[in-house]
């Protein structure tokens, strides 16, 4: 990873195959229902061509996500292309289509991990968060995938809509026998065209802190605040060194990793604000797009405020977390309050 960063090699890519989905989560930053999306989406050949270019430029790890990636009509073909090319493939899914046929495919040609998002602990909670009662389908599939020996990790994304059930969902997740349970520590604003608003799905700082503590108490094996995936993304900066740099972003987004959105645009990572860095990879090709994204993150000026912040050694400015402020090089004060609190909680648990 360090070498890749020194050489600006894009070794890990996320591909948002579609913004369409068979659920309708009320906090989702990407899901679209506009029927014209189907005409603008990339087809299997276009994805495979892009992925081939990424491989030529050094990609070794690919993440397939969405929307719901498995609803893309060419999902299996795209997946098998990556496997045939020797890629380590990670799949993010809501678990509905992780049925017998998919489990058989994954057993024969395994992804290195399947992340299944768990949105409830019963039909009522599933309906409240996702608009559909698919509790039985998802949990039956998860159990079958684990029984088949696949590497399954569970993801929980607390939001205002999940609040009455968050503790029970975490407890339930712990009983399913997955390799790991990760709870999203921060929500970010939804893309503008989704019509969803953080004002509706966001949580208060106190609610966030309570859930974060509960999660750490419930899954104490985690020595740090970060999941493995996040740690990999954040790079090798030691805990006591500042992540706020004079110029540039300190994480690996746009340094060793990239994301391609459903409409064929490239960003440093999934959900990155489009008004900060967003390049039309479909038209200019992978190499030129990567150069632009890489240059964009190296050149990004973090807000003045970060250089004076009491937590500058514990926080890293992430434009995705400050979405509508990042293009103006400003901080969202609510995000900062949560970043500081989260860093303090992490320190407290580390000292235990």
| Residues in contact with ligand SF4 by the rule CB under 6 A | 21, 23-25, 28, 30-31, 66-68, 94, 130, 244, 305-306, 309, 311-312, 315, 317, 331, 336, 339-340
* Helix 135-147 with 100-108: angle, nearest 10 deg: 30
> Rounded to the nearest whole angstrom, what is the least distance from the CB of residue 238 to ligand SAM in the complex?
27
Q: Which does 70 bind (CB under 5 to 8 A by kind): ligand SF4, ligand SAM, none?
A: none
User: Is 290 within 8 Å of 267 (Cβ atoms)?
Assistant: no
How far apart are CB 105 and ligand SAM at their closest, in Å?
18
Supply 163's token pair.
């609040």
- The DSSP line for 29-71 is SS----TTHHHHS--HHHHHHHHHHHHHTT--EEEEESS-GGG
Q: Which residue's CB is nearer to ligand SF4, number 9 or number 191?
A: 191
Smallest distance, Å, CB 186 to ligand SAM? Answer: 7
The nearest distance, CB 195 to ligand SAM, in angstroms, is 13
Q: Which partner, ligand SAM, ligand SF4, none, binds residue 155 by CB below 5 to 8 Å per kind? A: ligand SAM
Report d(CA 312, CA 207) in Å as an integer.
Answer: 24
Whose CA is closest to 47, among 29, 68, 62?
Answer: 62
312 binds, among ligand SAM, ligand SF4, none (CB under 5 to 8 A by kind): ligand SF4
- Using CB under 6 A as the criterion, which residues of the chain lie in contact with ligand SAM when the complex forms? 21, 27-30, 65-66, 68, 92-94, 117, 155, 157, 184, 187-188, 190
Question: Which two three-digit tokens encode residue 216?
Answer: 């750490």
Closest distance between ligand SF4 and the C-beta of residue 263, in Å?
15
Contact by Cβ (8 Å): 18, 41: yes
- The answer to whether residues 348 and 220 touch, using CB atoms and an 8 Å cutoff, is no
The binder of 188, among ligand SAM, ligand SF4, none, by C-beta within 5 to 8 A per type, is: ligand SAM
Q: Which is nearer to ligand SAM, 20 or 309 (CB)?
A: 20
Residue-level length of the chain: 352
Q: Which partner from the list ligand SF4, ligand SAM, none does 290 bind, CB cut-off 5 to 8 Å by kind?
A: none
Q: Which does 249 bind (CB under 5 to 8 A by kind): ligand SF4, ligand SAM, none?
A: none
Tell which phi-psi region holds residue 235, choosing left (phi > 0), alpha (psi between -120 and 50) or beta.
left
* Closest to ligand SAM by CB, 183 or 297: 183
Pairing of strands 266-267, 257-260: antiparallel
Q: Say which entry of ligand SF4, ligand SAM, none residue 331 contacts (CB below 5 to 8 A, set by partner kind).
A: ligand SF4
Query: Cβ 32 to ligand SF4, closest distance in Å?
Result: 10
Residue 117 pairs in a beta bridge with 155
Q: Smaller CB distance to ligand SAM: residue 16 or 293?
A: 16
Cα 81 to Cα 333: distance, rounded to the nearest angstrom: 44
How far apart CA 281 and CA 57 sit, in angstroms, is 14
Min separation Cβ 197 and ligand SAM, Å: 10
């Amino acid at each position: 990873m360090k070498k890749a960063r020194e050489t600006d090699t894009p070794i890990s890519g996320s591909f948002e195959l579609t913004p369409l989905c068979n659920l309708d989560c009320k906090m989702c930053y990407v899901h679209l229902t506009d029927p014209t999306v189907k005409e603008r989406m990339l087809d299997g050949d276009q994805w495979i061509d892009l992925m081939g270019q990424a491989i030529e430029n050094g990609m070794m790890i690919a993440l397939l996500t969405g929307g719901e990636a498995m609803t893309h009509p060419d999902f299996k073909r795209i997946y098998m292309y990556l496997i045939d090319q020797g890629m380590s493939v990670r799949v993010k899914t809501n678990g509905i289509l992780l049925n017998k046929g998919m489990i058989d495919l994954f057993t024969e040609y395994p992804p290195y991990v399947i992340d299944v998002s768990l949105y409830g602990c019963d039909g009522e909670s599933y309906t409240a968060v996702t608009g559909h009662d698919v509790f039985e389908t998802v949990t039956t599939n998860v159990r079958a995938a684990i029984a088949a020996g696949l590497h399954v990790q569970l993801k929980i994304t607390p939001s205002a809509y999940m609040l009455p059930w968050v503790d029970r969902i975490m407890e339930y997740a712990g009983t399913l026998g997955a390799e790991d349970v990760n709870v999203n520590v921060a929500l970010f604003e939804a893309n503008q065209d989704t019509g969803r608003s953080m004002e509706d799905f966001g949580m208060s700082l106190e609610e966030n802190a309570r859930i974060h503590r509960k999660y750490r108490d419930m899954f104490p094996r985690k020595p740090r605040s970060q999941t493995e995936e996040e740690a990999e993304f954040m790079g090798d900066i030691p805990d006591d060194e500042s992540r706020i740099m004079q110029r540039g972003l300190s994480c690996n987004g746009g340094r060793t990793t990239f994301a391609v959105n459903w409409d064929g645009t490239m960003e440093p990572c999934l959900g990155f604000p489009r008004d900060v860095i967003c390049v039309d990879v479909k038209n200019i090709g992978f190499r030129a797009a990567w150069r632009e994204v890489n240059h964009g993150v190296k050149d990004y000026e973090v807000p003045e405020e970060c250089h004076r912040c009491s937590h500058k050694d514990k926080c890293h400015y992430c434009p995705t977390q400050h979405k509508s402020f990042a293009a103006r090089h400003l901080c969202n004060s609510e995000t900062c309050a949560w970043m500081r609190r989260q860093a303090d909680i992490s320190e407290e648990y580390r000292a235990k």
